Structures are given as C-alpha cells and as structure tokens.
Chains A and B, each alone.
Chain A
C-alpha cells in the first residue's frame, strides 16, 4: 500500500496548466469587483492548485446585467434554432479537442478518476451538447383544438435569464447538462460552479466563446454558495433557477426564489436510493452492480445505491462475494489508470463521511470491511461495508455521499417496497431480478424518478432524470430538460367562416 490509498504512488501526479481563474462576464475574464480570490485545493494532497476570483453579489449583478442584455437585445434568442444548433455542434467539437485538459482539471479539482473522465465523462459531455444541438430546431408548440370558434396555438418561448448552480461531484457533466439545453432554447445564463471545482467551468466558458456563443449569453461566477449562490437565487432579474446539490441547500435556494421574484425553480437534490436484489438474481452480477452503485465516484453521487436490500435466500452468498470484490477495489491517485477510487472532494466532506462511519459503528451495524481513512495525506477513505443495518439507523437514513455501503436483508417483495419507500428521498432505485412481474411491480411501486432494472447508473442523454419527494423536482436530460427553459404562450384569435372546427 502506498502513502495514500491502496493504489500506487505519486508517480501519476500530473498537473494541468491552469489558464483561467477569473470570472467570465459578458465574454471577458475579469477580476471580482472586490478583488478577492479564494483557493481551490487538490484533494489528493491538500495543496492549493490556484487562486480563483471570488464572485459576490456585485459580480452576480454584473453577470445578470450582461445576460439580461444578451437576452433582451442580443442575437442569441433571435437566431434560428438551427443556427444555435450549429454553434453548439462547434462547441461540442471544441470540447472533443480539449477533452484531456477538461478531464485533468476535474481530476485535480475534484479528485475524479482521470481515465474515467477522459473515456466516459467528457465524451458524455460531448454527447449531451450534440443532443441538445440537434434539439434546438425541434422545439414544437401545438396548434390547439378549441371548443369555440378560435384559432389557437402555443409557442414555446425561451424563458429568459437563467441562474444555474452546479455541484462539485460531476463538474463538467452537470455544467453541460444544465447549460446546453438552456443554450439550445435560446436562454442566457449566469452559472455558478461549486467553490470546490471552479476550474473546468471557466475553461468551458472559454470554449463556448470560441465556438461562437455570443458575449453575455454564458456567464460564469466562481464563488461561494452563501454569497454568490444566494445572490443568484434571490436576484430579481433572473427568470428561472436550476440547482443541483444537497437537499439542505436546495431548500434555501427555493426560499430565496420565493422571497424575491417568485422565479420558477427546479431542484436536483440528494438521495438515499435503494437497490433491491431478489433471490432469483445472479449474485455475481448483483454484487458487482451494488458495489459500484455505492462506490462509484467515491460515493459522491446523488443516485448512489446507498441502501442495498438483499433477499434472504441469497444474502449470505451475496455478502461473501461482496467482500471478495471490495478487496480488489483500488483506492489511490486518480491519475493512476488502475485506481477505482480517488480522494473525497474536500476536508468537510471527508470528515462528514468519517462521522457517519462512527455513527454506524455506535448504532450497532456490523462493519465488514473498511471503516477509516487511509493516511494523513489526502482525503482517501477505505471502501466501507456495513451489514446488519437497520432502517432507523442514521447511515440508512441520511445521505452520506461517501464510499459507505449499507446492507440490509428482506423477506418479501411487499416488505422490500415498503422499506425502500420509507425515506424522504426519491431520486432513483435499482431492481435486480429475472422475474418480469417483480420488475414491473417494483418499477411502479417505488416513488423515485428513475428505476434501473438489472442495471445501475443507466444514464442516457435521452432519458429524463430527477427526483420525487425531497430529492427535488424538474428533470435533467432528454427533451424534458429542454422544456424547463421555455414559457408556454398561448395565442388565440377568433375565426370566421371556418369550414371545420
């Protein structure tokens, strides 16, 4: 075992060149009004990567002003969808050219796997942008069947200036997921990336400008939630707000929206997603799915399968295989291609996860493997598996957002459904079974926005994603996400002498 993690060494410590550290407002990189900066930290070693301009209310005001002007007077919403689509296609091509740099920025900033970023995350970003580029000229309203003598139709009009607040766990993916449908729709926007991961967003803005996105359409304010984020949420001149992050902050965002100009909000928040594994499942497949369902991206994923329910008939075999597989789960420098898990994003998260692990032990769950941090340097945590977890334990109720596996046993399908739904969250769920009826019943019974049957993380750009209950509302991905960025306007006029109605 190396200095940190069980993977090998500092050998892979690449450092991409940091080109952009200022706010991006109206097509220019500028210092913050206050002149303040903040440190962005490499979670592998706690070292400062760069100092980044710290945006606050005044900066948000400037960005909104630019976005407002670009929307009210600029070319962007006045271009045809096909013209916007062409610019987005060019944008996707530029991202493709710079995929490695973007992946590296997210690795140093967020501790994400570099190989995964290059092979999966950034190509997915490109796919997302191309998808919405192709959707830009396919925004249809409807011509309505009126009950009276009227001709009427609906227009989907771009909603205006949108505020987008992006989390740190998938910086590039979630940035493109929020911005590309907004761009396709003809909106202008002010984006705040997480303070932990500001770098790729600035790079992304730079590429958008190169692709031909006009000045003022995409503005990026780096900074903190309490200051810049709050300013966006409560801004009187922002027409729509979309937030991805914790349920706790989501509530504040929505309150700020309500207290200011009642801007519509969509929220993609936390989860405590159940994965239900039935007796007829192939244990080998199921244990692999469950392990990566919890540990993928260090557990820093809102849809982590953080409650794994296994039916009693295969429970023992499942545990055996799970422990075996956890052993080969390599933790270490995310630039190392053999590594499965990098460091947690920051000290605060790191400590929170360790707190939950302690809670699990105290409440009487059985610790099967892991249960502590790896070393003093870097924020690496051992993949941790708890069994004999009870539904009322804190580790089974709260979102831990770390590599902590909670395993529970169940007897019947009804019981599994009931326990799976016994949560304030409703983001996603998994089912592993060969039985068609079980799959269908569980799919309709679980109150969550996505059900994965015999797969997990089955994300696709065409497949809408979002939460029930306190996991939020509104949808990312698919045409549903595009429709988040439109007003519906009905246009009605009387008709005379129509041969049909």
Chain B
C-alpha cells in the first residue's frame, strides 16, 4: 500500500490506483496549477506550522533529561534559517548513560524476555498511535526538514505505520532451523536478539529512517540507542515518547540528539554496543566502520550515498519516462540517497526527452512546504545549500548545458530552482558525485552494453531505474546493474517488504523486509549427540 501511495504521489495520472482502504483518512494529493517557482511572497512569509514543539530533551531510560553538559543546540527551520527550538546536545557522557540504560534493559529485561506476541502488540499499539497523531508528526517533520507537508502527511508517516505493523507481524515468526549434520547429531539454530543496537539516522527522511531501524530491532527483542541527525531531532523524540505510551519498557529505546563527531562517534566506538546501523553519507560511513573496527568489532550495517542511473531505453513511452525520471531525481528536494541522478537517455529519444524534462522541471512548484500543492521545499541547511550551488557552478564550468534553473530561489531560506543539465559527460563532477539536490543530469547513450558499462562505472551501487517495454532488455539490465535495487518502469517504490541497500560504496547489509531481521539477530547453533536415532 505504501508503495502505491508513493506512486500516487508521483503522478496525477496514477491516482486511479488508489483503493478504498487507501484513501481512508488520507487526503489525496492535489497538485494545483501553481505557476513556475512560487512567488517570493510565499517564501518571505512562512506559514506558521500547525504544531508545537513539546519535547527537546534527550530520552534516556524512559525519561526526558537534559544533556550531561547542559548544552543545547538550535534546530533550524530551513525555510528561514531561524531556530525552531533549542535541543539538548548529547555527547559521549549522554551516550554512556543511554547505553547503560539499554544494556540493563537488555540484560535484565523485561523486553527480550517478553513473548514475541507481547512485543508485537506493543509495536501494533505504537503504529496505532502514530496513525492517530499523523498530522502532528508530519508537521514536525516538515518544519524541521523542509519537505512538503503533503508528502510527509500522506506518504511518509503512513509508511512509518505500515513498517511498524509489518515488523510487529514478524516478531512471532522468527524461526531458526534444525539442520542435518553428517553424523548422529541433533542441530538447531536459535535466532537470538543481538543486544544493544546503536542506530544513527539521517535528516532526509527522519522518521522513516527511524522506522526502518527501530522496527526490526524491536521486533527481534533488542534494545536501542538512537542518534538523530542534528538537523532533524524533533520527530524521533516525539515518536519515541509514543513508543513508551504504547507500552515499551524503560531503557529499550534511548534517543540522543547531537552531532556526529561527538555523540555519533561515542556511539560508533562504544564497547558495550553490540551492533551498529548507520544511514548517511559514504564519507561518514567510512568513519563509522573504522570506529566499529577499532573498538569492539561490532557488526555494522551501512546505507550510504548513491549516484543511481535512470536508464530510458529507445522503446520507452517518453512522456511517462519524463515524469518518472523527474520524480526519481527531484523527489524530496533531490535529497534521496537513491535519487536517479544520472539520467541516461537513448539517442533516439534524447531530444524529445530533454525538451519535455526541461519543461516539467520549469513547472515544478517550489515554495513553502506547508502550502498545499507545493512539490518542492527548501534544502535542509546552509551547508547542503551551498554545496549544491557549487555543484551547479561546476556543471556549468565543465561544459554541461544548463537547460533550466541553476540559482537559489528567494532571498531567505534554502530554496533552489529545479535545475536540469544536458550534454553531461561521465567524467564531469556532476555525473560522478552525489549532489543531494534538485539537479538533474541528462546523458545520452547509444546501446545497451554501453549504458551498462557507464552505469556501473561508479563507486556507488544503490539503485537504478530502467524504463523499457522489452522483457529481454529489462532482464539483462536487472542482472547487469551492480546495485541493490532495480526499479523497472517505476521508481522509488518503497514498501516494508522490499529490501533496500547498496553494492560497493553505497553500503553493506539490507534494511526492510525479512532481510532486516538478520541485522538484529545472532545465530546460535545448538548441537547434541543422538543416541540410537531412528533416522538421520
């Protein structure tokens, strides 16, 4: 259903896919005829968010507490750069306290000692509570992150609910195996919770990433210390509070707001953390993995950057391809690790595609994300904003053709015009590095072997889009692309059941689906001799 919701979001023409169940309590997204890059006025006078920030402290051992140092940091509204609230700033000492609480909750219980059915009921109640507070949570998310409110309210928060229900259903279905040994032995495997999980989540989908990590960890019976991104601390604190309301025992989830080099480092290198999961940039992922290696060799799951190709074959329906390629790149202000940021178009349809893609980018409505019908809000912060503008300059300097966009929008906040480059070459910086912004790079190709080779000529391997009607082409590309997800004739279809993760420097391990459970389980083999067995 969440997958369909995304589809629903991405294109007006797909709204017929909606089912009666789907529309229950969720307003369909209306994309009105908003003119190109919404007016400066809308940017000057931000809409007051319909939510209050009630929680800004750390959540440790079931209690809201200040940081050990007493320090706080401002979390900023990306529409204006103004502070929304001052949030407790966790550091090594706070991580220590959180790990101690999580350790105790794991070692002494009751969480891992509950029946799986009891754990699943807590997760189900949590899902109900998130559903109940859908709009409030979505507003917090938009305020802190700048993403369109309608996207948060109609797509992301319902996906959080879906994920939690999905993993609630797994809790009582985690089976080990009995195994045949070459001899008179009885062998069984116990799938045990791994212990205290350290989880570091990014700012681009704060609550969704919370759900991807927390859902499977809790279903398996682990306890958690979670560090949010310093840009977006608010929604996780809110959600963690609801988890306690749902009956989660104290200390099972601990949320520490703070910065990577301080709190993040302390968590990654902690000797009492049994498992680490990180989503973020490849550069930071390397540091995290090193810290894990240097400390207690904790296993690490990494979901990192990407430079995902979106391949439009010669037989593709160009109009649909344009729409999907646009969505693949511009969704969430281009701040997706799996953004289709290298649009490879077959030479036969290149000109038509380029013209239409440029026209579509020009029509994209940018403005206050709280405003109805807005497709694109501001980028997350000044650092990202400046970085994206630098990449745009580099694109121009290296000889790519700027078809549209290329500038900031308005004088305040971090808005950037939807930007399209054509004539992009593989060795240009904009075709090699992850921009994480609304910058579409269009490249031309001649044949399948060539596009496979070029698509794979990257250090990343997160995802790819393939647009073709030909089953052989689809099969060949699906197997030849060295990426963790291939979307054929669709893109960004996410569902709780679909595993996600990277090849190469896009990371290691898989999240979501049944695969995510193994991140949070130890496998123990129990072996005993058999006396006079009836069979082997």
Contact = CB atoms under 8 A, between A and B. Distances in A.
A359 interface: no
Contacts of B476: 495-498
B165 A85 contact: yes
Given A79-B19, A444-B186, A497-B448, 20 more contacts: A75-B19, A82-B162, A82-B166, A135-B169, A137-B496, A138-B170, A138-B173, A151-B475, A437-B530, A440-B528, A440-B531, A479-B173, A479-B175, A495-B472, A496-B472, A496-B476, A497-B476, A497-B480, A499-B479, A499-B480
A500 B479 contact: yes
Contacts of A20: none
A494 B19 CA distance: 35
A403 to B, nearest CB: 31
Contacts of A445: 533-534
A441 interface: yes
B532 interface: yes
A86 B472 contact: no
Closest 9 CB pairs of A and B: A134-B169, A445-B534, A437-B531, A498-B479, A495-B475, A444-B534, A497-B476, A444-B533, A499-B480
A82 B165 contact: yes
Given A440-B186, A495-B479, A498-B475, A80 B1 contact: yes
A131 B170 CA distance: 9
A165 interface: no
A493 B170 CA distance: 32
Contacts of A500: 479
Interface in B1-40: 1, 4, 19, 21
A131 B530 CA distance: 34
A412 to B, nearest CB: 12
A46 B535 CA distance: 51
A140 interface: yes
Interface of A: 75, 79-80, 82-83, 85-86, 89, 127, 130-131, 133-138, 140, 151, 436-437, 440-441, 444-445, 461-462, 479, 493-500
Contacts of B129: none
A83 B173 contact: no
9 contacts: A79-B19, A80-B4, A83-B19, A134-B170, A151-B479, A440-B530, A441-B530, A444-B530, A498-B476
A496 B117 CA distance: 47
Contacts of B496: 82, 137
A444 to B, nearest CB: 5
A441 B531 contact: yes
A135 B173 contact: yes
Instruction: Name the prevailing secondary structure of the B interface residues.
Output: helix
Contacts of B173: 131, 134-135, 138, 462, 479
Interface of B: 1, 4, 19, 21, 116-117, 120, 124, 162, 165-166, 168-173, 175, 186, 448-449, 471-472, 475-476, 479-480, 496-497, 514, 528-535
Contacts of B116: 462
A439 to B, nearest CB: 10
A421 to B, nearest CB: 9
A138 B116 CA distance: 17
A8 B147 CA distance: 69
Contact of B172 (A134, A136, A137, A437): A134
A479 B168 CA distance: 16
B497 A137 contact: yes
Contacts of B535: 444
A459 to B, nearest CB: 13
B169 A137 contact: yes
Contacts of B529: 437
A375 B169 CA distance: 49
Contacts of B169: 85, 133-138
Nearest to B535: A444
A82 B1 contact: yes
Nearest to A462: B172
Contact of B1 (A83, A497, A499): A83
A441 B165 contact: no
A79 B480 CA distance: 33
B471 A493 contact: yes
Nearest to B219: A134
A75 B22 CA distance: 13
A79 B22 CA distance: 11
B138 to A, nearest CB: 20
A218 to B, nearest CB: 18
B184 to A, nearest CB: 10
Contacts of B165: 82, 85-86, 89, 134
Nearest to A499: B480
Nearest to A442: B534
A16 B44 CA distance: 67
A493 B531 CA distance: 48
A135 B514 CA distance: 12
B472 A89 contact: no
A86 B21 contact: yes
A158 B398 CA distance: 56
Contacts of A461: 172
Contact of A79 (B21, B162, B528): B21
A441 B124 CA distance: 41
Given A134-B170, A444-B535, A445-B534, A436 B528 contact: yes
A140 B514 contact: yes
A235 B497 CA distance: 37
Contacts of A89: 124, 165
A136 B165 CA distance: 11
Contact of A441 (B168, B449, B479, B532): B532
Given A83-B1, A437-B531, A138 B480 contact: no
Contacts of A498: 475-476, 479-480
A212 B169 CA distance: 20
A75 B21 CA distance: 11
Nearest to A78: B19
A238 to B, nearest CB: 28
A75 B169 CA distance: 23
A335 B373 CA distance: 62
B21 A127 contact: no
B173 to A, nearest CB: 7
Contacts of A436: 528
A252 B120 CA distance: 41
A138 B86 CA distance: 42
A252 B471 CA distance: 48
Given A80-B1, A440-B186, A500-B479, A134 B168 contact: yes
Contacts of A82: 1, 162, 165-166, 496
A497 B535 CA distance: 45
A83 B479 contact: no
A496 B533 CA distance: 49
Contacts of B530: 437, 440-441, 444
Contacts of A86: 21, 165
Nearest to A132: B169
A264 B532 CA distance: 37
A38 to B, nearest CB: 38
Contacts of B117: 127, 130-131
Most buried by B among A85, A133, A495: A495
Given A89-B124, A499-B480, A131 B475 contact: no
A479 B534 CA distance: 27
Nearest to B531: A437
Nearest to B534: A445
Nearest to A435: B531
A80 B529 CA distance: 45
